[in-house]
Structure 1
Amino acid sequence: MFLQRMKKGLLFLGVLLMLVSCGEYQKVLKSEDIGLKYSTAEQLYNEAKEENNKSKYRKALRLLEQIVPQYRGKPQGEKVTFLFADSYYQLGDDYLAGYQFERFTQAYPNSDKIEEAAFKSAKSYYFLSPRYDLDQTETLKAITELQKYIDSYPDGENIEEANKLATDLRVKLEKKAYQIAWEYYNKGEAGLPGQNYKAAVVAFTNFLNEYPGSPFREEAFYYRFAAAYELAVNSYEFLIKERLTDAQIYYNNYIRYYKEGSPYYEQIQALNRDLESRLQNF
């Protein structure tokens, strides 16, 4: 019975303290004293960081939003601006975190927090990158920001992660470029005669030139040849020989790099035997 009363008492005390705390916070929020808001925001931010408490980050952020403009150009401005950006970062608001950290690096290039801010800005943009089949504007932005960090801090404490994130994004761009080329091939004879196969040959060629080390390289070599072969055999009679000869060049490109045992080796050999047989008829 005594323990139950004690538990109820502690629970009541906790609720009471929380209400008092909330009341005090509301007073600070409505106060005109920017010094009080600054000290309260800093205390809430430090507690949030120590406790990994999202609620306190949100409270700190509300206060910081009110005072950032007043501290711009003042000695405390650097710290206020960093806490403001980092609160967004900790709350997972990647767009505003990236933007605010970017502003911080521009405003305070000599800050001892500049490397951390540059990395967090780039990482925030990384999280904004959509899946590969959507518009990749945000991906390009993230790669640019990560590369800035990598170039500026080659020995930085986050360099390994920055390189990994940049590689992830580049592979995403490669996958999109490869998918566009493959879609042309997959459409095949749909539309104008040979149009999609011709577009596929061009797209795969551009892909191989732009991404020479891509994990999709062998597939691109194979499908470029396959598209050229299909373009040739489905052409008007007077174009077939020339296009078969062009396809043979793409076959030679493939076997220069990939030998027996490669995933597409048997398929490409079968198509090439047919190609040679057709050429002999000319």
Structure 2
Amino acid sequence: MTSVAAAAGLLGCLASFAAGCASAPTLDVLPADEEYTLGTAAYAEGDYGEAAERLNRLVLNYPEDPRVPEVRYLLGQANFRIQEYPSAAQDFERFQGDFPNDSLADDALYWAGRAYEAQSLKPQLDQADTRRAISSYSDLVRQYSSSGHAADAEARTAALRERLAEKEMLNVRYYFKHELWKATEIYARSLIEEYPQSAQVAAAYLILLRTYEAQGKAEDAARVRQVLLDQFPQSPEAEQVRQALGPAEGVSLQARTTR
């Protein structure tokens, strides 16, 4: 093929490509009023996917429109309902960040927490979204203490913190199983200090006790044993300690804890 023919062929290809691009469908930009009407109507009818698309286009194309605060909030709700949780969390956080004095600002933080919580994984897996949910709920309680969502946010925070404690306990058990005593001690103490209300604390004390015993640290073991018996006398872990001590010593320790 000659260079002239090759050039002609190339020009033909480019022309065809340009024609294809010119004929490709484009997304029409509707007037703000029309986007708002269509978006809010879709939301009211429960068509949250359509609502999210319309409302998002309004926010992007008309950022100065006075209805943007309302639209931002509805956009977050629409995304939450179609389980687009990352987008919903971002929508709610932007709303609260841009309009912290709006009457819906506390609602936005609450639903940001709910969106992160919906993405929270079981304790064996990464807990980044669990921590993000806790952060949103904590911000809500701190910044809007009179919010109607505050009590539920606190309850959800407690449940999520228990999940983090379970995650920490998995680490404690792993290091204990592999006889990595220093790591076991670090993680057990971290759990006890960070999550003192957790149901995992008694088990953490028992593993810490066994860790000290395995290292021959008699004084540390005795101190942790007494804390376990004093603070969790009815726990299965305390019962294990009493059984290991034998009847005489177990009775003696029990007497000291009930004085």
Q: Please state if 1:57 is matched with 2:53.
A: no
Aligned pairs for 1:246-257 (under 5 A) are 246-257=220-231
Measured at CA, do residues 197 and 270 of structure 1 come closer, stay the same or move farther in structure 2, by a change above 3 Å? farther
Aligned partner letter, 1:34: A
Q: For the residues of structure 1 that align with 2:56 and 2:239, how far apart are their CA atoms?
A: 64
Secondary structure in structure 2 of the residue aligned to 1:264: helix
TM-fit CA distance, 1:174: 0.9
List alignment gaps of at least 5 residues for structure 2: 1-26, 250-259
Cα offset, 1:266, TM superposition: 4.4
Q: 1:79 to 1:227 in 2, by over 3 A?
A: same
SS of residue paired to 1:177: helix
Are residue 245 (structure 1) and residue 219 (structure 2) matched?
yes
The root-mean-square deviation of aligned C-alpha atoms, in Å, is: 2.2
**Are positions 1:148 and 2:139 aligned together?**
yes
- Determine which of 268, 272, 278 is the counterpart of 2:241: 268
Instruction: Note closer, same or farther for the CA distance 1:80–1:255 as it changes in structure 2 (3 Å cut).
Output: closer
User: Which residue does 1:81 correspond to in 2?
Assistant: 72
Deviations 1:80-108 (A, max 9, x none): 22222221122121110010111111222
Partner in structure 1 of residue 211 of structure 2: 227
| Residue pairs, 1:109-258, within 5 angstroms | 109-188=100-179, 196-232=180-216, 243-258=217-232
| Paired letter, 2:39 | A
Q: Which amino acid aligns with 1:248?
A: A
Q: Rate the CA distance shift 1:34–1:227 in 2: closer, same or farther, 3 A.
A: same
Distance 2:28 2:98 in 1: 29
Per-residue Cα deviation, 1:133-182 (whole angstroms, up to 9, x for no partner): 21222211111110011122222222222112111110011111122112
The equivalences for 1:4-83 within 5 A come to 30=28, 32-48=30-46, 56-83=47-74
Amino acid at match of 1:227: T
Equivalent residues of 2:32, 2:62 under 8 A apart: no
Matched, 1:94 2:85: yes
Q: Distance in 1 between matches of 2:124 and 2:212?
A: 25
Instruction: Please give the alpha-carbon distance, in whole angstroms, between the structure 2 residues aligned to 1:231 and 1:164.
Output: 40
The alpha-carbon deviation at position 31 of structure 1 amounts to: 5.7
Q: Is the 8 A contact 1:122 1:149 kept in 2?
A: no
Q: Report the Cα distance in structure 2 between the residues aligned to 1:113 and 1:87, rounded to whole angstroms.
A: 15
- Aligned position for 1:11: none
Q: Shift in Å at residue 115 of structure 1?
A: 2.2
TM-score, normalised to structure 2, is: 0.77
SS of 2:103's equivalent in the other structure is: coil
Segment drifting more, 163-172 vs 264-273: 264-273
TM-score in terms of structure 1 length: 0.71
CA separation of 1:231 and 1:73: change in aligned 2, threshold 3 A: same
Q: Which residue of 2 aligns with 1:193?
A: none
Report how many aligned residue pairs link the two structures: 221
Taking the aligned partners of 1:251 and 1:229, their CA distance within structure 2 comes to: 10
Q: Is the contact made by 1:251 and 1:272 (CA closer than 8 Å) also made in structure 2? A: no
Structure 2 CA distance, aligned partners of 1:38 and 1:258?
Answer: 59
Structure 2 CA distance for partners of 1:198 and 1:270, relative to 1, 3 Å: farther
Q: 1:201 to 1:47 in 2, by over 3 A?
A: same
Name the structure 2 match of 1:105. Answer: 96
CA contact (8 A) 2:134 2:157 kept: yes
Query: 2 CA distance for matches of 1:107 and 1:178?
Result: 39
Distance 1:187 1:41, change over 3 A: same
Taking structure 1 as reference, are residues 181 and 65 closer, same or farther at Cα in structure 2, changes over 3 Å only? same
